[in-house]
Homo-oligomer: A and B are copies of this chain.
Amino acid sequence: MDIRIERDEDGARRAVYRQIADQIRDAVARGSLGAGERLPAIRGLAAALGVNRDTVSLAYELLVRDGLLEATVGRGTFVRDQRGFRSDPRPAPPFAQSVERLLQFERARPSYAAVDGAVPLHALTPDPSLYPLDSFRRSLDRVLESSGSELLVYGEHQGSFDLRQSIAQRLATHQLAAAPEQIVLCQGASQGIYLAMRLFAEPGDWVAVEEPTYHNVLTALVALGLRAAPIPMTADGPDLDVLARTLARPEVKLFYTMPSFHNPLGATTTTAHRRALIEIAARLGKPIVEDGFEMDLRYAGEPVPPLAALDAHDLVVHLFSFSKSLFPGVRIGAITARGRSMEGLLALKNASDLSGAMILQAAVADFVNAGEYERHLSGLRKTLRKRRDAMIEGLIAHMPANARWTVPVGGYQLWLELPGEMDTRSLFSEAKHAGVLFAPGYQFHHDGRPSNAMRLTTALADTGEIERGIEILGRVVKRHLTHARRTARDRNVHV
């Protein structure tokens, strides 16, 4: 069976799983796939297409649902005998409207599948080859040895006291004073974002977000039935005039912001900007959700206190995560909140999933307390610094003169803006085939409108790969710009 995935450089924006499902449906209709024939195994097809297994699963699942395929546990998926098949299957029970909107939103933002051999400058997953696996295993062993079954009962809603204490001590190194009682653990910063927005906003309310911003925040907004009020990013950070006007609107309930190592921009605001931002929020009595997802990853410049450290009015709900600085797989983040907010967050955490896995929380606490986290950070920061330098040198060497980029002082990501009105989506396929992956900028816009920028990361590629990737990207960009100029000139001729 010949299945081809076209990613959306053609503007069609069709989700990959739908493309797979449609091509199988066509093959059955044409008769090239007959009743009883076995479909390729999900793993195999996913690998052949260079897509996630879930994508293939979902395509098969849709077709099973439609009665075209049937899945048999342990045997595989087969084309169903269509004789006697009900011609008007009963419709599935309707989803909540907000879920339909969420699905529409996701369909309009396909994710891009990696291909083997291409330099991965698109991803924000920390490099598994850098994980301190052995020392983490020792921590896991130690806590199971000492606490055993105690770690396998339900945990407190708030999460392991030991880990909250360790996190409080870490936050103190960022000038952020918080007691363990002011911290609740959550499933990565992701759940923190969801719970913190939920705390202050009802469906129909608005949330101020930076533009561009972390694309999963936009997904969480849609899932919560909230609307995004974009605050443009300037060279200094979020535009404070627009922010003040936006937060003054009663229907705007909070501001979500990433003041350090912004995703996707890689930018960090100054203490003065932060003070002014807090001042606006305090004047208007609006809460701020500060995402410090990479706060432990500064590798250059002077530390700047988090917004939460400058907040005298209990307005800032602060998010911390181990996902970027240790590994995402433990699914541990922390929400720090003062005052009454903790009461609401605990109630929401309880209603959502009761509590996290104490065994992992205890292992991470042991890991931190044994000094292993600090040791790991120290190496990781050096690596990130080298990778950033390689990327910046590559950009200087290979990008056209009128391209611009940010120079981050921490974290994994930077923002590359190309000249002109191009849409970086249109570069993606060419770049991928040439051997480099990036995250097109439109994904970080609340309305998905085109962007002439892209996010590049140093998460998965080492310095050698970064050099190679940026060189390839430079060639692709220059070729594209030349072509665009030529097209524009030709068009002028004909006009």
Chain B residues with CB under 8 A of A157: 54
A272 to chain B, nearest CB (A): 23
Q: With an 8 A cutoff between CB atoms, is A488 at the interface?
A: no
Judged by DSSP, the binding face of A is: helix
Which residues of A in the span 273-296 have a Cβ within 8 Å of any Cβ on B? 282, 285-287
* B131 touching A152, Cβ below 8 Å: yes
User: Knowing A74-B169, A131-B152 touch, does A99 contact B54 (C-beta < 8 A)?
Assistant: no
- Mark contacts of A47-66 with chain B using CB atoms, 8 A cut-off: 1 yes-contact digit, 0 otherwise: 00000111001101110110
Q: With an 8 A cutoff between CB atoms, is A216 at the interface?
A: yes
Q: With an 8 A cutoff between CB atoms, is A182 at the interface?
A: yes
* A200 touching B156, Cβ below 8 Å: no
Please tell me which one of the listed residues B53, B328, B358 contacts residue A153 in the complex, with CB atoms under 8 A apart: B328
* A343 touching B285, Cβ below 8 Å: no
A414 to B270, CA, bound (A): 61
- Mark contacts of A144-166 with chain B using CB atoms, 8 A cut-off: 1 yes-contact digit, 0 otherwise: 10001111111111100100000
Q: Which of A27-35, A218-226, A448-456 contacts B (4 or more CB under 8 A)?
A: A218-226
A295 to chain B, nearest CB (A): 17
A52 to B156, CA, bound (A): 9
Q: With an 8 A cutoff between CB atoms, is A378 at the interface?
A: no
Q: With an 8 A cutoff between CB atoms, is A314 at the interface?
A: yes
Q: With an 8 A cutoff between CB atoms, is A434 at the interface?
A: no
Chain B residues with CB under 8 A of A358: 329
27 inter-chain pairs at a CB distance below 8 angstroms, sorted by A residue, are A53-B161, A57-B180, A58-B343, A64-B339, A71-B179, A73-B172, A73-B178, A77-B179, A90-B282, A92-B314, A92-B339, A93-B200, A95-B344, A96-B205, A98-B202, A99-B199, A99-B344, A131-B148, A149-B327, A152-B329, A154-B328, A191-B352, A194-B353, A223-B351, A329-B358, A331-B357, A352-B352
Q: With an 8 A cutoff between CB atoms, is A335 at the interface?
A: no
Q: With an 8 A cutoff between CB atoms, is A268 at the interface?
A: no
Chain B residues with CB under 8 A of A52: 156
User: Knowing A150-B128, A344-B103, A360-B360 touch, does A200 contact B351 (C-beta < 8 A)?
Assistant: no
* B194 touching A351, Cβ below 8 Å: yes
Q: With an 8 A cutoff between CB atoms, is A190 at the interface?
A: yes
Q: With an 8 A cutoff between CB atoms, is A429 at the interface?
A: no
Chain B residues with CB under 8 A of A360: 357, 359-360
A287 to chain B, nearest CB (A): 4
Q: With an 8 A cutoff between CB atoms, is A315 at the interface?
A: yes
Copies in the complex: 2
A216 to B350, CA, bound (A): 9
User: Knowing A65-B314, A106-B347 touch, does A352 contact B194 (C-beta < 8 A)?
Assistant: yes
- Mark contacts of A64-100 with chain B using CB atoms, 8 A cut-off: 1 yes-contact digit, 0 otherwise: 1100000111100100000000000011111111110
Q: With an 8 A cutoff between CB atoms, is A370 at the interface?
A: no
Chain B residues with CB under 8 A of A285: 90-91, 93
A298 to B103, CA, bound (A): 39
A350 to B137, CA, bound (A): 28
Q: How large is the interface on A (under 10, 10 to 19, 20 to 34, 35 or more residues)?
A: 35 or more
In the complex, the chain B residue whose C-beta lies closest to that of A313 is B90
Chain B residues with CB under 8 A of A383: none
Chain B residues with CB under 8 A of A73: 168-169, 172, 177-179
Chain B residues with CB under 8 A of A309: none
User: Knowing A219-B351, A344-B103 touch, does A199 contact B161 (C-beta < 8 A)?
Assistant: no
In the complex, the chain B residue whose C-beta lies closest to that of A126 is B153
Q: With an 8 A cutoff between CB atoms, is A181 at the interface?
A: yes
Chain B residues with CB under 8 A of A205: 96
Chain B residues with CB under 8 A of A347: 99, 102-103, 106, 223
Please tell me which one of the listed residues B95, B133, B182 contacts residue A152 in the complex, with CB atoms under 8 A apart: B133
Which residues of A in the span 350-400 have a Cβ within 8 Å of any Cβ on B? 350-360
Please tell me which one of the listed residues B58, B133, B254 contacts residue A342 in the complex, with CB atoms under 8 A apart: B58
Q: With an 8 A cutoff between CB atoms, is A125 at the interface?
A: yes
In the complex, the chain B residue whose C-beta lies closest to that of A57 is B181
Chain B residues with CB under 8 A of A140: 140, 144
* B152 touching A65, Cβ below 8 Å: no
A224 to B225, CA, bound (A): 12
A301 to chain B, nearest CB (A): 26
Give 12 A-B pairs besides A54-B346, A96-B198, A128-B153 with Cβ atoms closer than 8 angstroms: A52-B156, A54-B157, A61-B342, A71-B181, A73-B172, A90-B313, A137-B144, A153-B329, A155-B329, A187-B187, A220-B352, A353-B353
